[in-house]
Chains A and B, each alone.
Chain A
Amino acid sequence: MSRILILDDNTINQIAAGEVVERPASIIKELVENSIDALCTSITIEIEDGGLRYIRVTDNGIGMSHGDALKSLERHATSKIVSSNDLNNIVTLGFRGEALASIAAVTKMEIITREKDSISGSQIINHGGDLVSNKEIGCPEGTTIIVRDLFFNVPARLKFVKSFRAETAHISRLVEKLILGNPKISFRYINNGRIVYYSPGDGQLKNSIFSVYGRDIIDHILPVHPIGDSRSISLSGFLGKPAIARKNRIGQSFFVNHRFIKSGLIEASIESAYKTYLTANLFPWVILNINIAPNKIDVNIHPAKTEIRFKDEKAVSEFIRQQIGSVLAGTPYIPALGKDSFKPHIGKNDKDQCDDMEEGYQVEAFSSISSEESITDDVTGQSADPKKEVGKAESPSKIFLEEEPTKAYIASPIEDPENGINRAKETEFELRDSYQKENATSHYKVIGRIFTTYIIVERDSECFLIDQHAAHERILFEKYKNMFSNQAIITQRLLPPIIVEVTHGEQLILNESMNLFQSLGFEIDSFGGRTYAIRGTPVVLGVSNPKAFFHGLLDDVDSFTQGSNYELMIEDIIRMSCKKAVKAGDILTNAEVYALLDALMEDRIPLTCPHGRPIMISLTKTELEKMFKRIQ
């Protein structure tokens, strides 16, 4: 008796559906990706009851001919690739040719589609994989797919679907990612008849962010300018300032060639770039687009395609870390007084998506105050022409907010006649630099100190509270760090040598990177087999700990760069030498306060203490006025 049977197509489709159609959100993902691949410029997503009862995705894309529409429901039917060679060069979001067939197998599906040049369109109705009706109808160009009664024929799966609310939340989160990943497409997302999101689709990521996260967050993000690279990889997007960091990774969205993906590699790279800016257990808010040559990645890992494999993970990771690190280093941060920290009960929590964002802080684009302008000047200058000062200080942030974040940002300061004068001579600086310098010339005035710990500084229409201890600690940290990096590498020789045994894997790494070890001050010889003799060890500011240094370096020699364990270990040592910092409660004279501020305002000093706590908090005049209800 033959026990092995070939499954019929319907069963196969239902099995495939298990992978592709996990929940309503997966259906929407597949449908919207089809729409995007169909080159549409607008997509409407409508759901009812968490998408379990009704999902509609309408696009204005190229549509399908009648024959294609019928074929699309067959398994492995796709227009996106032709041969297996194309798998190495996938530029569309879909390619497997499974999605529609799988979805159709477990739902009641209706396809309405018309090609641009056709006079009429087609309507195909399919229930659980069986064709119910197939006719010619009149309809607008593009494709509409309506999916009803998910899992109506697979009651077992239905049990695993969560509540309407949970499924809606999933879908909303997905739609957010789709909006953020496709700024050129106008999205309309309707839940139970109400418009939840609308994005203009004007190609500006910032506007997409606005659509999803609301106004507040726009002030708290930094653009990442796309930078071409020989490795044919480039980044664009926005980085959240530390003030809007979250307790989880929900604020992180990554896109590779506009495909939303999840990637531990990218998360780790970004978080290591943020390391010194955030306290423990906070995760940065980031929207990052990675454009990479299609042949450098493999998306054909899982049917859901949210996983991706990079051909050269090390290079990608390092590139991200460096780029983000440089954006962050170029912009100091000051958390502002959260409105909620003053008025915890006033902000009402609607169940809106941007809720969490409003709980965040106001961060003003801030700046350094350079030593170019002397302090004595400000006392008089302060009242002289406040309007001009304010305008001057604000103009860069206007550019920042309104212009297209890429080229316009670079171009406009030069075009702007008012600012152009100052800036002309600074063209050799990076743009961000000049942005700081611009603000840097603003005046500040020390109002006084409270609780013998916090220095209050007024500048333009803003006031800063500065923690004297954290500020001094950061200054010393930077100083010692500089001192260390300017010092020659010092190797303390050891006798007897320390004998270490490494695993085979480590041995390969060690042999490969012996030069790196040597350049950092290690003297290492092979001692037979998998043992090595450490004969010399680096000395970091007088401290050496050969075994810990060695293993620290060995563990992350792969990703050795700023932010690696080894680097962190060194920073730990440096941090310990910051004990000389003035403490909270130490009484400072005015001269000391000014000296501290001057040092702090120097370029490139991150505005968090080495342990990640903020150095200063800002409170704007507007915020004060809001608190006192002078303005609404």
Chain B
Amino acid sequence: MKFTCFQKKLSDSIIIAQKAITPRTTLPILEGILMTTYKGVLKLVGTDLNLGIECFLEANIIEEGAVVVPSRIFGDIIRKMPNSMIEVEVDSNYRISIKTENSHFTIQGVKPDEYPELKYVEERDPIEIQQNLLKEMIQNTIFAVATDETRPILTGALFEVKEDNINIVCLDGYRLALKRGMVANNKNISVIIPGKTLSEVSRIIDNSDDKISITVDEKHVLFDMGYIRIVSRLLVGEFLNYTQIIPQEHKTRIRADIGTLYDAIERASLLAREGKNNLIKLTLKEDRLIINSNSEVGAAHEEVPITLEGNEMTIAFNSRYFMDILKAVGDEEVCIDFTTNVSPCVFRPEDGDNFTYLLLPVRTSV
């Protein structure tokens, strides 16, 4: 096997394929990237058996073949090369030689036969969505995906297509994040995609209007961008019926400017963090929201102008969770609905329903 290729292109592709490779594995071959040549195309594959990423790039193929290269060292070598033509040649013993004008490396590769094949997902009837929309939807929900394995299903995000609506829902037991997008598709799908897959997808896709096509079968999902294909196992199980847990009614509704609210909470949380409990207390008044936090270092008092409909009340939250949501909401004006100080509060947009966030309060004994 022998090919030449531009350093930049090869390096970029390696970095993408590496995203599927876990740093810790007991199966040594998974530490490698499978490199295969086709007519005028080089394919790189990385996988951890749950997630697989294939990258295609143009290359000048001189002799066809396949090899598994050690991912980290090969990636590092290519990355440090000057941006010029690189020649890669593999002999029959899978020794890989990497040459540029002034450098020459030889490293040992592995026979490609044992490299696991990625699951083939037949692209029938895919969903098409703009990459920038998908990216935004993932980024604004993924923070709420559960990180502990107490309830494995919650380590995934619900990916739901209902006719022209696409919903991504994440839920970790303390908060729920729901983001809606509109895409002309007219399909009905509901699958649970592992959080890790989605966050890698959001990192790989561009901020452009280009479409990405998504195909699901019973057990797998395929994200296809043409030159990059991401295949992932789905989580099997029943996601929570999230519509049931979002309260439809409220006793108190406030409207506030996100930027002001975020800054105030961030300042108050400086002290909350010192006390190691991230606890902030919100007092909702007629025209203002009072934020209090204290620790042995001192006490913070912040006031934010709001408009309030309904009852005045006091409620406490984990400031970190609260800020995560405000960050995801962005600069939009937001309505926050409260019922009691032990029931969830709901963040909704002023108009429309392109997001819903739900946050559980904390209760203190004093």
The interface of chain A, by Cβ under 8 A from chain B, is: 480, 483-484, 487-496, 498, 521, 523, 536, 539, 541-542, 545-547, 577
Main secondary structure, interface of A, reads: mixed
A489 touches B365 (CB 8 A): yes
Q: What residues of chain B lie closer than 8 Å to A487, measured between beta carbons?
A: 275, 277
Q: Does residue B102 face the partner (Cβ distance < 8 Å to A)? A: no
Contact of B279 among A480, A490, A546 (CB under 8 A): A490
**Separation of A589 and B173 alpha carbons in the complex (Å):** 47
Give, as a whole number of angstroms, the nearest-CB distance from A278 to chain B: 28
Chain B residues lying within 8 Å of A521, measured Cβ to Cβ, are 365
Stretch at the interface among B7-15, B228-236, B356-364: B356-364
| Residues in chain A near residue B277, CB distance under 8 A | 487, 490, 539, 541-542
- Asked whether B364 lies within 8 Å of A491 as measured between CB atoms, the reply is yes
Cβ A492 vs Cβ B360 within 8 A: yes
- A491 close to B363 (CB less than 8 A): yes
Contact, CB under 8 Å: B364 / A498: no
Alpha-carbon distance between A498 and B149 when the two chains are bound, in angstroms: 12
In the complex, chain A residues whose CB is within 8 Å of the CB of B343? 493
B residues in contact with A498, CB < 8 Å: 150-151, 173
Q: How far is the CA of A556 from the CA of B10 in the complex (A)?
A: 58
Tell whether, in the assembled complex, residue B276 and residue A495 are in contact, meaning their CB atoms are under 8 Å apart: no
A489 to B361, CA, bound (A): 14
Bound complex: CA A547 to CA B366 (Å): 25
Contacts A492-B362, A536-B363 given; indicate if A541 touches B276 (C-beta within 8 A): yes
Chain B residues with a Cβ under 8 A of chain A: 148, 150-151, 171, 173-174, 176, 240, 245, 275-279, 296, 318, 342-344, 358, 360-366
In whole angstroms, what is the CA distance A496 to B241 when docked? Answer: 10
- Cβ-defined contact, B360 with A495, below 8 A: yes
Residues of A within 8 A of B296 (CB): 483
Instruction: Give chain A nearest CB distance to B193 CB in angstroms.
Output: 20
Contacts of B361 in A (CB 8 A): 493
Given A491-B362, A542-B278, 17 other A-B contacts at CB below 8 A? Answer: A488-B364, A491-B364, A491-B365, A493-B174, A493-B344, A493-B361, A493-B362, A495-B173, A495-B176, A495-B344, A496-B171, A496-B240, A498-B150, A498-B151, A541-B276, A542-B276, A542-B277
B365 touches A488 (CB 8 A): yes
Residue from the list B148, B174, B278 in contact with A494, Cβ < 8 A:
B174
- Note all chain B residues with C-beta closer than 8 A to A545: 148, 150
Q: How long is the Cα–Cα vector from A494 to B151 in the complex, in angstroms?
A: 13
Nearest chain B residue, comparing its CB with the CB of A545: B148
Give the residue name and chain of the A residue nearest to B360 (CB).
A493
| A494 to B318 Cα, complex, angstroms | 12
The smallest C-beta distance from B225 to any residue of chain A, in angstroms, reads 35
Closest 4 CB pairs of A and B: A541-B276, A493-B360, A489-B365, A491-B363
| A64 → B minimal CB distance (Å) | 67
- A588: shortest Cβ distance to chain B, in Å? 24
**Shortest CB distance A137–B (Å):** 79
Q: List 12 A-B contacts (CB under 8 A).
A: A488-B364, A489-B364, A490-B364, A490-B365, A492-B360, A494-B174, A495-B176, A498-B151, A541-B277, A545-B150, A547-B150, A577-B276
Determine the distance from Cα of A241 to Cα of B150 in the docked complex, in whole angstroms. Answer: 41
Q: How far is A493 from B362 in the complex, measured between Cα atoms in Å?
A: 6
- Residues in B with CB closer than 8 Å to A492 are 174, 318, 360, 362
Contacts of B360 in A (CB 8 A): 492-495
Contact call B363/A493, Cβ cutoff below 8 A: yes
* Nearest CB of chain A from residue B325's CB, rounded to whole Å: 14
B364 contacts across to A, CB distance below 8 A: 488-491
Chain A neighbourhood of B363, CB < 8 A:
490-491, 493, 523, 536
Q: Within the complex, what minimum Cβ distance (angstroms) separates B270 from chain A?
A: 14
Contacts of B362 on A, CB cut-off 8 Å?
490-493, 539
Chain B residues with Cβ below 8 Å from A577 are 276
- In Å, the complex CA distance between A495 and B245 comes to 8
CA distance A489 to B364 in the complex (A): 6
The distance from the CB of B318 to the nearest CB of chain A, in whole angstroms, is 7
